[in-house]
C-alpha cells in the first residue's frame, strides 16, 4: 500500500494497493493524487515519504516536480 496523507487534517488523500512493491506502486499513487486534487497543489505543499528506495529514483523526483 502506498498512500498520501494530509499532515494537517490526518486525512488520507489518496492511496494505491498492489501485490507488488515495484516502482509502479508509487507512480500510480502520484497519478491518483493528481486526479484527487485536480492538480491544485498548495504552493508550500511538501511530499515527505517515510520509506526509502521508492522515493529516490530520478524518475520519481521528476514526476513530483511535474505535479508542482
Nine cell digits for residue 39: 492538480
C-alpha span between 27 and 3 (Å, rounded) = 11
47, 3, 53, 49: which is closest to 29 by C-alpha?
3
Q: Are 57 and 49 in contact (CB under 8 A)?
A: no
Select from 65, 23, 22 the least CA-distant residue to 47: 65
More confident position, 29 or 40 = 29
Task: Identify the band that residue 26 occupies on the pLDDT scale cut at 50, 70 and 90.
Answer: confident
Per-residue pLDDT band for 19 (boundaries 50, 70, 90) equals: very high
Q: What is the pLDDT of residues 31-63, one digit of tens each?
A: 998 888 886 777 777 777 766 777 777 888 888
In percent, the amount of the chain with pLDDT more than 70 equals 93
pLDDT of residue 11: 87
Q: Write out the three cell numbers for 32.
A: 491518483
Amino acid at each position: 500500500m502506498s498512500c498520501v496523507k494530509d499532515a494537517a487534517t490526518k486525512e488520507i488523500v489518496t492511496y494505491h494497493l498492489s501485490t507488488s512493491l515495484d516502482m509502479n506502486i508509487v507512480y500510480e499513487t502520484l497519478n491518483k493524487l493528481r486526479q484527487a486534487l485536480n492538480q491544485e497543489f498548495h504552493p508550500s505543499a511538501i511530499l515527505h515519504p517515510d520509506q526509502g528506495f521508492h522515493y529516490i529514483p530520478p524518475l520519481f523526483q521528476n514526476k513530483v516536480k511535474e505535479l508542482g
